[in-house]
Amino acid sequence: MEGNGPGAGQWTSTQAYALSVICLLLGVAVGYLMRGSAAPNSTATPTRTAAMEQPPAPTGAAQQPTVEQLRQMADTQAQPLLKELESDPKNSALLYQIGNMYYDAQQYPEAVKYYENSLKIDPKATDVRTDMATAYHLMGQSDRAIQEYDAVLKIDGKHANALFNEGMVKWQDKTDSKGAIASWKRLLEVHPDYAQRDRVEKLIAQAEQHLTIKPGSEAAK
């Protein structure tokens, strides 16, 4: 980008703070799925969460940015890393980081592009593939999301976030309660000390209740 003003790649502290707040709000609003890098007991990268359930906006909350504004902010934030990528195009970690920036700005197709390029270099990067799967879910491509979660679990059958997320997608997108329960029970089996065990147990109980509801009944509607 050309020019010397904040809109041309240089951010003021106020703009940077505003973006961090927006990203935090988006993280809360987007929901319940777990980012690939948020594995239990992992200290390699910060925990990042994405989402499925959208709580009501707080009273008096600032107006949400438009898709175009989010895209512009992501482009600006990613600019230094894109410049670095020019001299190091095979840096899978850098590609993943750029993908995360677009993911956090809800630019999922763009995030997927960088995740895919990262995976071309390191196809066994399970965190990257988990995040890509979740991006596909958020793009409405649940079958592709499950396919990618399955690919993660073939490499690492204990990947906690892939198991958790696959259960959520099977349950909420595919109404596959049995499949969701199997994923979550597997999660608790391989991670008995899972930090959110209570939450997963509640999800299993809810999904099991759905199994007992007959199609066409009042409870099923």
Rounded CA-CA distance 36/127 in Å is 4
9 vs 61: which has the higher pLDDT: 61
Rounded CA-CA distance 175/34 in Å is 19
Rounded CA-CA distance 165/131 in Å is 10
Rounded CA-CA distance 71/67 in Å is 6
Q: What are phi and psi of 49, to 5 degrees?
A: -120, 150
| Per-residue pLDDT tens over the stretch 72-96 | 888 899 999 999 999 999 999 999 9
Q: Name residue, tokens 């499949």.
A: 179
Rounded CA-CA distance 157/95 in Å is 25
Distances (CA, A) of 50 to 6, 32, 62: 28, 6, 20
- Domains defined along the chain, listed by start: 18-52+67-220 (1.25.40.10)
Q: 49 pairs with which residues across the strands?
A: 34
Sign of CA dihedral 205, 186, 150, 105: positive
pLDDT (0 to 100) of residue 42: 35
pLDDT (0 to 100) of residue 216: 55
Percent of the chain with pLDDT over 70: 70
45 confidence band (pLDDT: 50, 70, 90): very low
- Cβ(46)–Cβ(96) under 8 Å? no
Distances (CA, A) of 100 to 30, 88, 171: 14, 18, 25
204 vs 43: which has the higher pLDDT: 204
Q: What angle do CA 160, 162, 165 make, to 5 degrees?
A: 105
- Cβ(131)–Cβ(102) under 8 Å? no
| Per-residue pLDDT tens over the stretch 101-158 | 999 999 999 999 999 999 999 999 999 999 999 999 999 999 999 999 999 999 999 9
48 vs 140: which has the higher pLDDT: 140
| Per-residue pLDDT tens over the stretch 6-38 | 333 334 444 444 444 344 334 333 346 777 665
213 confidence band (pLDDT: 50, 70, 90): confident
Look at the pTM and tell me if it is higher than 0.85: no
CA nearest neighbour of 112 among 134, 140, 90, 88: 134
Does the pLDDT at position 196 exceed 60? yes
